A and B are shown apart, each in its own frame.
Chain A
Amino acid sequence: MIELDGLTKRFGAKTAVDRLSFRVRPGVVTGFLGPNGAGKSTTMRMMLDLDNPTSGTVRIDGRHYRDLDEPLKYIGALLDAKAMHGGRSAYNNLLCLAQSNRIPATRVAEVLDTVGLTAVAKKKSKGFSLGMGQRLGIASALLGDPEILMFDEPVNGLDPEGIHWIRNLMKGLAAEGRTIFVSSHLMSEMALTADHLIVIGQGRLLADTSMADFIQQNSRSYVRVRSPQQERLRDLLHEAGVPAVAAAGGALEVDALTAEQLGDLAARNHLVLHELSPQRASLEEAFMRMTAGAVEYHAHSPGADGGTGVDAGPPPPLQPADAPRWGASYDEQFGGE
């Protein structure tokens, strides 16, 4: 169990993490979600006592990180894949960490095997690809066989095979009853791995909810309907008391009726329909709406909307062309471009 209480970090005038309080519960995968620059990495560094909080506390099983005798046996963390000495072999990089926490050297070979690096154990880690570096970082997190594991953007920059591997690894670790805390800026990634969600934006807590609740509350489904007799369609819906929202391309979006009900209604009134399609707003969109007001770096160039920032990663799911643009509600609210 990790408990954050009023955790705050200020860098000069900028508040990176703002009175963050939440708990990471054991036995589940908790996703830590936020746009780039939301304060995820800073929060994780404070959890490991690498950065000093301006105020507030982090407790691990009731204790401060600094008071843990051999912390690798409680928490394993992957913060930065390149946080190893490149001139040292993979084996020796892990050996010196193991020795500092009195973990037997035989465990080093075990974790190297777990992450599939046995063949390159004696190679200097500076020659490693990003994926191999990530695996080495994960091996270091697993060294002490800890109950709690923290991963900061573990899939960042990985190829699909690597992403698949990390996903399965995290699921496997959670299935063993461990606490997994994993950060990401991709909702689609979290939807596949996390049971619980903590969403932050500009350092503030935006949501602390189970994945199921988040999906239920945030995935809006609606029907897109288009007709050459759009005025009549609009009148009909109005008479039936069904609200409709005009969308791009002369279509209407209706969320009070199903596609079947809309089709029947059109047929009864001899209306020609050119499109009748059920739509489901993706979780990615829900996440974007939630964090729209709290996105640190807005892309204001045309065509840059819908991107998830500069970091490489799996592409976001394709969105319907008329889906609300990323930051649209922000612009509505504050008059944007």
Chain B
Amino acid sequence: MASVPAVLASEWTKIRTVASTSWTLVSAFVVTVALGAALCALTKAQFHNLSDLERATFDPTLVSFTGMVLGQLAMVVFGVLVVGTEYSSGMIRTSLAAVPQRTVFLFGKISVATVLALVVGLVTSFLSFFLGQALLGGHRTSIGEPNVLRAVFGAGLYMALIAVFSMGVAAMLRSSMLSLGILMPFFFLVSQILAAVPGAKEVARYFPDQAGAKIMQVVPQAMGSDKTPYGPWGGLGIMLVWVAAALLGGWLVIKHRDA
């Protein structure tokens, strides 16, 4: 067996020595925090224009995470590139010749990238929260209120899981371009459009991002959203099932396909 610490050290070197790691993670951080802050400021200014329902279910925690809609796309790119560049560069053959135990190789790589994505995700979520609350003025909440800490922590977890899901998909498809071509439109358009279409939204609420995002809500049916058959942790559980399925698929592919 290959030495697991050695594989982790190797994967850490790989991840810190390519430019895509820093620009994707910095983008995820900047976009999420900046967009969240902007929308919090806007919401404060336009609070009187919100509908009665939205005002009744106003969720300041969730509003501060609005930037996640775009920020998660950078996380998708990060996850896809971590795995996909092995294939697009041809490095995979060199890597597997060095670590022929493919399970150790794949999960070593994913573990290192996941820890990094989680750290960036948590920093992003906490900063988005505190900056957003400061900008919401009188409508703000605080980290000490019930369920708020869970939502903030959950938002960081959500970002990391989006990245892990993307890693699994890239390992299955063995191509960065193909993976991005499927995941970007899915998370940016398909999932969000279907979630707004009556009839389709009953299905869309089981998509990984729709279900997982539930963890970021503090107020039930926040901002006038529909009632879901699952709670915050249930939603995260559904997302975890998706992530596990993507990882299983990626593992089966790397285990059985020729490199």
Contacts and interface: CB of A to CB of B under 8 A. Distances in A.
Contacts of A199: none
B89 A100 contact: no
Contact of A85 (B9, B89, B101, B256): B89
Given A50-B93, A50-B258, A92-B17, A97 B101 contact: no
A99 B6 contact: yes
A83 B2 contact: no
A92 B97 contact: no
Contact of A69 (B1, B14, B17, B20): B1
Interface in A35-49: 45, 48-49
Contacts of B95: 97, 100
A309 interface: no
Interface residues of B, number: 32
A79 B258 CA distance: 15
B209 interface: no
* B contact patch SS: helix
Contacts of A50: 93, 96-97, 258-259
Contacts of A68: 100
Contacts of B19: 87
Contacts of A79: 93-94, 97
A234 interface: no
29 contacts: A48-B93, A49-B96, A50-B93, A50-B259, A52-B256, A65-B100, A66-B101, A69-B1, A70-B3, A72-B97, A72-B98, A75-B97, A80-B90, A85-B14, A85-B85, A85-B89, A87-B19, A87-B20, A89-B17, A92-B13, A95-B13, A96-B11, A96-B13, A99-B6, A99-B10, A99-B13, A101-B99, A102-B3, A140-B94
Given A50-B258, A88-B14, 12 more contacts: A48-B97, A48-B100, A66-B100, A71-B98, A75-B97, A84-B89, A85-B85, A88-B17, A88-B18, A96-B13, A100-B7, A100-B98
